[in-house]
Structure 1
Amino acid sequence: MQTKTLKIGTRGSALALAQAGETRSRLMAVHGFAQEQIEIIVISTSGDRIQDRPLSEVGGKGLFTLEIEEQLLDGRIDFAVHSSKDMPTFLPDGLHLSVYLEREDPCDAFIGRHAGAFLDLPHGATVGSASLRRQALIRRARPDLKVVNFRGNVETRLRKLADGDVDGTFLANAGLRRLGLGDVVTELMDVADFPPAPGQGAITVESRIGDSRIDGLLAPLNHLPTSTALACERAFLAELDGSCRTPIAGLATIDGDTLHFHGMILVPDGSEAHEIRLEGALSDAADIGQDAARRLRAVAGQHFFADWV
């Protein structure tokens, strides 16, 4: 019998709240909890407050988790709900990603103000993105375009687009779908040509290592194919020492008993890129990701990584 109110930590954006709400709903369905037994605690993060500079200049995507993890470590919240792609490769001592909910569509969505398709943008058009991966992929495909930093939550970026600040932008299709905004998409990008960020589309839950009560409650929410795919993608990131300061793309998919992985690394201006495709057994997911990263490092050479600043 659950008597203590569970406290979920999350950022305060509409998307973050939707993801926390989805996690709460799943816990209620599995365990029969009433809604008032699971409280959603909104925590302001440095990443949300700093809007005037690219995250790559001020500390990376860990700025979206720092204050949340502080409250998780000192017990003010029981667990935290995050977008998997926002999670740093290495977590603070004592914390782990214990659960992955079933992944939504991982692809990027293009939203054009006038041009419906990315490649149909006129010469010299302006595209907004805060992601170094997306910026590099945009420049790789269309070096003629002007790419500008484009911070803010989903609603803010869509408003800036509507106001004419840019001619187009990219957002994760999963986030748009979770917000009921799928109709704003003008083109869904092919993951083969425009691969997503590792972890894109998946919600993860972060909890304290050794907290058997909380992890026991969370365990039924874990989607094994998603957690297997993310084990591969996060191993790829870890081997490359990936952060939001590095243009890295990676997607693992599962077909029966086989895991397929596609990874890509780019220089920030998109002028050079290397990609790899590997497959193997599901039980070797992390090894496949690590092997893919090592092979890309060997092919690219050390000069390539000098541009990763």
Structure 2
Amino acid sequence: MKSSLVIGTRGSALALWQAEHIRDALRERHPGLNVDLEVISTKGDRVLDRQLSEIGGKGLFIKEIEAALVDRKIDLAVHSLKDMPWAAPDGLELAVIPERASPWDVLCPRDPGHTLHTLPPRARVGTGSLRRITQIRRLRPDLQLVPIRGNVQTRLDKRSADREDLHAVVLAEAGLRRLGIWAQGFQVLRAPDFLPAPGQGALALEIRTDDNDTRGLIAPLECPRTRLCVEAERAALHGVEGDCHTPFAAWADLDGDVVTLHARLLDESGRATEARDSGPVGKGAAAVAVARSMGAAVARNIVRQHTTGP
């Protein structure tokens, strides 16, 4: 077994928090293991003047890190699962998915007391996510939606009058909580009105498929409950052939061995096509296949509705 491990990560405050969280968990489970971080700049970090959908979408925050993994410059990559495509490149795999944090989005208003429903008419709301834009448009078609990029604090700062002068921004609760950024008046946007991105709030630990030593070290961090939920969500996204240009949302929950999945495909006007499914998935490796099958079935339902119309 290895005595040292190198984790590859982006350099943002949130990405570093996530990598340090995994580093600390590994050190706790394997006393004496030397774990170092290697900060890697990605295209998504460097190009900030255009929306992700304009420059490639999914993969923009991972390609350089995966290249370092393939080249054996690092042993382990820590990603936000929502940034990951359905399939890993040849020779790599998403070996572990740790316990998920909150999957929900949060409205962060400039003036405490406002909610999504009480923002002034034509208020300016910042978000760079097509999924968030279309769901907000579905609930508040009068709002002005302003595309924004940047790290968590940068986006929060855009609410000030000398920046973008936004009435509110929408961010992921998991990122806010992980960075210790929380304020009275933040509104958590929950199901059924507002669904998250598939895998939102979860981390993905990626390794080389031939690296059994690293696989063994990180295996205790796997969360079977989270795995089943996000596999169903991601299978639904894959089933609608979704990418960064697809406003698609999905959330799965597990009660005992019963997974309940709710997914939503939207268009630019905010019109939604939705489907739900629920059923037992069992336990063990077979349960993952059942969860994926549920996601695929929900996707087929949505595609059929979307094709035939209301």
Same fold (TM > 0.5): yes
How far the C-alpha of 1:2 sits from its partner, in A, is 4.1
Find the counterpart in structure 1 of residue 284 from structure 2: none
Any residues of structure 2 matched to 1:1-309 within 5 Å, and which?
A: 2-3=2-3, 5-33=4-32, 37-114=34-111, 116-163=114-161, 165=164, 166-183=166-183, 186-270=186-270, 272-282=271-281, 283=287, 284-301=290-307
Q: Name the SS of the counterpart of 2:60 in structure 1.
A: helix
State whether residues 27 and 33 of structure 1, in contact with CA within 8 Å, keep that contact through their aligned partners in structure 2. Answer: no
CA deviations on 1:243-263 (whole Å, 9 max, x unpaired) are 221100001100011000010
Q: CA deviation at 1:269?
A: 2.8
Native 8 Å contact 1:173 1:182 kept in 2: no
TM superposition shift of 1:59? 0.6
Gaps of 5+ in 2: 282-286
Query: 1:236, 1:292 within 8 Å by CA — same for their partners in 2?
Result: yes
Give me the identity figure in percent. Answer: 46
**Cα pair 2:2 2:213 within 8 Å, conserved:** no
1:33 and 1:295 map into 2 onto residues whose CA distance is 51
User: Structure 2 CA distance, aligned partners of 1:228 and 1:257?
Assistant: 10
Supply the distance in 2 between the matched residues of 1:38 and 1:191 (Cα, whole angstroms): 38
Query: Normalising by structure 2, what TM-score?
Result: 0.93
Tell me the TM-score normalised to structure 1 length: 0.93
* Deviation by residue 1:33-70 (Cα, 9 ceiling, x = unmatched): 35xx1011110000111111111011112111111111
Deviation digits for residues 52-102 of structure 1 (CA, Å, limit 9, x no counterpart): 111101111211111111101111010100111111223211111111110
> Equivalents in 1 of 2:59, 2:263: separation in Å?
22
Residue in structure 2 matched with residue 307 of structure 1 by the alignment: none
Aligned-partner SS, 1:162? coil
Contact 1:89 1:241 in 2 (8 A): no
CA offsets 1:145-202 (integer angstroms, 9 cap, x no match): 1111110110110111234521111111011111111236521112211000000111
Q: Do 2:2 and 2:214's aligned partners in 1 also have CA atoms closer than 8 Å? A: no
Out of 181-190 and 87-96, give the one that drifted further: 181-190
Supply the distance in 2 between the matched residues of 1:41 and 1:303 (Cα, whole angstroms): 49
Greater fraction of residues in helix: 1
Q: Which runs of 4+ in 1 moved over 2 A?
A: 182-185
One-letter identity of the residue aligned with 2:44: G
1:241: Cα distance to partner? 1.7
Is the CA contact (8 Å cut-off) linking 1:90 and 1:238 kept in structure 2?
no
Residues 184 and 92 of structure 1: CA distance in aligned 2, closer, same or farther (over 3 Å): farther
SS class of match (2:232): helix
Kindly tell me the number of residue pairs found equivalent between the two proteins: 300
The verdict on how the C-alpha distance between 1:33 and 1:289 changes in structure 2, with shifts beyond 3 A counting, is: farther
Answer yes or no: is the 8 Å Cα contact 2:110–2:159 preserved in 1: yes
Assess if the C-alpha contact under 8 Å between 1:111 and 1:184 holds in 2. Answer: no
Instruction: Indicate the larger mover: 256-265 or 234-243.
Output: 234-243
SS at match of 1:88: coil
- Give the SS at the match of 1:119: coil
